[in-house]
Structure 1
Amino acid sequence: MVSQLSREERIALVEWINPELPITTQADLLGLNRSSLYYKPVAPSPEEIALKHRIDEIYTVHPYYGSRRITAQLRREGFLVNRKAVQRHMREMGFAAISPGPNLSKRRQDHLVYPYLLRGVVIQQPNQVWGIDITYIRMLKGWLYLTAVLDWYSRYVVSWELSDTLAVDFVCAAVGQALSLAKTDHE
């Protein structure tokens, strides 16, 4: 029963004021790490948000800039930042410089070639083919990540979820919601 609940639902079951059952025992019974119960995420500072927004702006104009060039540009603009911090922020935002890789025209013989499964498929009805995409939305105080499940026939958004982290849970929730909606449509 407990294993079927999501992590958030199990956390909600913790009774903080219970003299009979200590938090340690409750965490063990619910399959939670006790130290994670006390963790409160810290919001990013205004300076970090301003830095990330500026990195986003620079990368949007110059997608071929790597962490070195972005760091140099930020320093010219008066930001006190080192390259490792810029690399970390770029990695968190999913940015990588666009550049050619080595021997891109040569195919590796040991590399598995996956077939395009929709080649020749004519999409004629709703819920025949779905696509999923994850993107980020820039907010005043940070980012939100959006997962959307789209119906390719009607371009209808079947389901979507927002999260402030790139954890797998919200992606699975969007897919689960889409599948449950499709199941109710067929019944």
Structure 2
Amino acid sequence: MSWNLKKTKYQALIIAKEKAKGFASLSKICDCFELKRDAYYKYKSRADKRKEVEQHIVAIVKRRRKSLPREGVRKLMKSLSQDFEKQQIKVGRDTLFNILREHKMLTLRKKYSARTTNSYHRFYKYNNTIKDLKVNRPNQVWVSDITYIRTVKGFCYLALITDMHSRKIVGYDLSDSLELKGCVRALNKAIYQAKDIKGLIHHSDRGIQYCSNVYTQILKRKKIGISMTEENHLL
């Protein structure tokens, strides 16, 4: 065992004996570890100052969180910069992150998604007629789908009709809801722009928009075949 380790154990033993008596003086602790009292007080002063600054930061963040409870560290750095300057507090992003983590004030980012397909409805669901079909020309199969676009104010819904052979978007409509009208507008736009739709098959999922009477009647009037996936997603 090295001399330093023996010395450390001896010092710890002395402090333990002093504490057993009910006290361990600062002088005794400093002597055991060969420290100066001034060094201890300087360290304690810095620690107390850091603690005080930390409490100010927590108080400022708590006030902000009353109105914006989900605001993350990056946004807090920007929105609270003036508050920190008024309090003469210099804090970096990493420091703020560590303080909020220590006080269990970090916000967990929620993952939001928009559901675009509802296949639980009363309308007729068609079979998948393109499962083994070889697509070798444009306007042979159109694939319809709805995707969502995240915006500051919420979600927008993009109804798309894509030619399966050329991968070209032949019809689209952007709407702020999942109502049938957006899909109908996309379909009518695709039909209007198409030159030859003889033998065309329309393929989609089994969502209520595509199974609705309004949508399927347009396809039937134009003599467009109807195909749907067995599941709630496209092939």
TM-score range normalised by the length of the shorter chain: 0.3 to 0.5
Q: TM-score, normalised by structure 1?
A: 0.40
Higher relative contact order (CA 8 A, sep 6+): 2
Q: TM-score, normalised by structure 2?
A: 0.32
